[in-house]
Chains A and B, each alone.
Chain A
Amino acid sequence: MGYAAARGGLDAILAAEELMRAKRDGGTSPPLEISQLTERLNLAVDRVMGEAGLWAPDLAARALRQAEGDIIEAAHLLRAYRSTRPRLAAGPVTHADEIEVLRRIVPAYRVPPGPQLLGRTLDYVGRLLDDGTPSGPAHRPAAAGGNGQVSHPDHPATADTGGQAEDPARRRPGRLLDLLRGQGMIRDRRRDDDPEPHDVTREPVRPGVPRSARLSVMARAETGALVNLWYRNILGPDGYIHEITLGEVRHGRLPVRVTHPVTGQPVRLGSVRVTEVEAIEDLDGPDEDRGVFDVGYGLCLGHNERKAIAMANLDIAVERDGGQSGLEQSVLMTTDGLDASGFLEHLKLPHYVTFRSMVDRKAAIRAAAEQQAPQQQAAGVTR
């Protein structure tokens, strides 16, 4: 036995792997190309990148294909891959005002400063199951003008300008927040002693961390976890937060730069697509300045408005809570998809050593109760 016996588990694992591979790579349809995933399932690819915290569309698509469409599994593959790579450089901070918008809406005003740019969204598309007829370029009506279709937002050649020249300033609109600030309507929480952003991949978080850590955690969080945490706080079991008013919902490209090692100048490497949300909160607490609004912020990789909106809501909710409830701990510690799913699924591991110990205690409790019972009878104790 000895070493030979240790093979048992390994043989079973290898057989399981083969079953996974055979089903995934078998079948009668052609194998999935990476470009099919990045073009046809781009929202799933975006979600994997967002929850992995790594911008790498082709790698995310590979992960999604390998994981058979399981988003959390794919995010895990991407993060585990990232663990093997050295960190080469940290980029200088990029201001979100540099986002070149593909979509921008301002629910708080009918006519805000800058455009209402509907862009690419399912918001007003009827949820009707289509008949499966492809609607590729050959089938599509002539390019829609203005804010029409985008087949793939990472390829500017096909971006949603409809082939028409456009005022570049329209793609870099100002913010509603600036207007409100100008009117003195916003509680000013900007600070000039802001330290470097807290890197949650290098320093673990716990309650009391700076806001940058909270935002980073939520940016990598599982979408469903943030939505659920928000909704629990809307309906009440965990507390109560407002339905806030959205000031900005943006999807666009944000440039990424590094500092050139020789010249010391920032060099643009490319861009990432992000979703950004500003949530305007009506302060109504007894100790709050009711004459102004406050604002919550959300930003995540890829196009994922659900996540960015939940994030902005929870950001301001944690700020207002001020550590009174467990909300901050919930946001920081319970929203990571890999943490929660991994721990949940570990229950499938063998637990017979611990279970035997529990059975031992049950026997001890019953023995103690039996010992107690005759004594109580003898003493005439009744219940």
Chain B
Amino acid sequence: MTVAELAAPAGTGEFGHLDEQSKREIRNALLTAVAVPGYQVPFASREMPVARGWGSGGLQVTLAVIGPQDTIKVIDQGDDAGVNAANLRRLIVASTGVPDTTDARAASIIQTRHRIPEDPLAPGQILVLQVPVPEPLRGVERDMRELRRMHAEADYSKIWVSLYEDLVRNGVITQSTGYPVLVGGRYVMATTPIPRWDVPRLHQAGFLSLFGAGREKRVYAVPPHTSVEPLAFEDVPFQVERTEGASCLLCGAAEAYLVEVPARHGWICSDTDWCWRRREAADG
């Protein structure tokens, strides 16, 4: 180790931007998270070249687990070309030199904000989700000490009551994204804000999901083959987003997560690469 090395400009030294000690510490937290599915593991959370709330947690998780043999895909809202996805991708690629792809099937690590790709993911793939608010119970309890107790004792009565009250007041459960789930029959977990459409796809999945909340300094995980059950009543089933008659203006898909395009009075797929491949296949 030389003084010149130590004084080197930022971002040009280590593989994966962070120093090795930091990456090891994050991996240690991730191992705990995998061992205790759905449990929020505190970690030190470094300041990253992106701001808090802009994927700093997901970025730390990706950089801690990535190796030279990996291929990375980064999406925001399902879109590879989104500005935040583009920014995170260039940081990851620039600091690791790994190849990037837009094809979810070809990526070994997929970092995402708000979506799970429409393609079924395979065992061995890692999904890294950026998490703004890791605490699923914050809406019903503000005190952090009480929240710890509730998770420790699996005392989830307050959130059940809130779901019941919601139903009675509004006729439906109004929680839109980030729907609370019970993981492995033990911990209630926040599903980042992925839409309800994506929630069932975490259940008994073959892939590993790692959740990184940089600002709140927590990581958590859903290991492969783990039950992920949305909190719902037996006689009021969990509902995903669906609009009668809607289909993608570009590829025609109806069974995909669609986002509205008011200017064109229609809908398009949020997963842009999946949509593009469907069109390519249709064109022959």
On A, residues with C-beta under 8 Å from B are 1-3, 5-10, 12-13, 76, 79-88, 201-204, 206-208, 323, 326, 329, 333, 338-339, 341-346, 349-354, 356-361, 363-365, 368-369, 371-372
Contact = CB atoms under 8 A, between A and B. Distances in A.
5 contacts: A6-B86, A10-B89, A206-B145, A353-B177, A360-B176
Interface residues of B, number: 78
A202 B144 CA distance: 20
Given A13-B86, A204-B43, A352-B259, A346 B53 contact: yes
A56 to B, nearest CB: 11
Given A84-B17, A84-B19, A204-B43, A349 B217 contact: no
Q: Is the interface of B mostly helix, strand, loop or mixed?
A: loop
A361 B273 contact: no
Contacts of A76: 47, 51
A372 B77 contact: no
Given A5-B80, A333-B144, A342-B215, A357 B176 contact: yes
Interface string B40-54: 001111111101111
A353 B10 contact: no
B18 interface: yes
A202 B20 CA distance: 14
Given A365-B172, A368-B170, A80 B10 contact: yes
B44 A201 contact: yes
B11 A353 contact: no
A5 B89 CA distance: 14
A357 B144 CA distance: 28
Given A81-B10, A84-B19, A201-B44, A354 B193 contact: yes
B242 A6 contact: no
B195 to A, nearest CB: 4
Nearest to B45: A204
Contacts of A346: 51-54, 132
Contact of B51 (A7, A345, A361): A345
Given A7-B81, A346-B132, A372-B171, A338 B257 contact: no
B111 interface: no
Contact of A364 (B142, B143, B172): B172
Contact of B242 (A358, A360, A371): A360
Given A201-B44, A345-B51, A352-B259, A13 B87 contact: yes
A349 B170 CA distance: 30
A5 B86 contact: no
